[in-house]
């Protein structure tokens, strides 16, 4: 792991940090995530009408913006959960190969 100098407030200067830097692929990923969040926010604000929502006999009327944002949040959480599961499986497979 690379150690880089980092300016820390209140420390009186520069201290050495072993926090990893973002590689270029991660920077692109974060830019895409932020861009997607902005697009979802704009879309939900432009579609802020009231809609009827029904689920298993329960029903209510809510803002379409709220429905859009909740759907995006649930989709993001599902994607994150799947990514974590796949990473764990990959890590377990690598660990098993190492010990064999």
pLDDT given for residue 48 in this prediction: 83
CA distance 18 to 5: 9
Mean pLDDT, to the nearest integer, of 72-94?
Answer: 86
Summarised one tens digit per residue, pLDDT across range 21-33 is: 667 777 888 888 8
A 10 A CB-CB count for 40 gives 18
- Domain residue spans in the chain? 23-99
Q: Are 52 and 61 in contact (CB under 8 A)?
A: yes
User: Is the model's pLDDT at 62 over the cut of 80?
Assistant: yes
The residue assigned the tokens 């990893």 is 20
pLDDT at 2: 56
């Amino acid at each position: 792991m690379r150690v880089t100098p980092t300016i820390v407030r209140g420390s009186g200067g520069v201290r050495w940090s072993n926090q990893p830097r973002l590689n270029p692929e991660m920077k692109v990923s974060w830019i895409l995530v932020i861009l997607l969040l902005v697009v979802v926010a704009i879309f939900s604000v432009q579609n802020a009408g009231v809609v009827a929502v029904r689920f298993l006999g329960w029903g209510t009327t809510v803002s379409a913006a709220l429905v859009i944002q909740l759907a995006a949040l649930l989709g993001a959480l599902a994607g994150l959960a799947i990514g974590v599961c796949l990473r764990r499986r990959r890590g377990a497979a690598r660990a098993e190969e190492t010990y064999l």
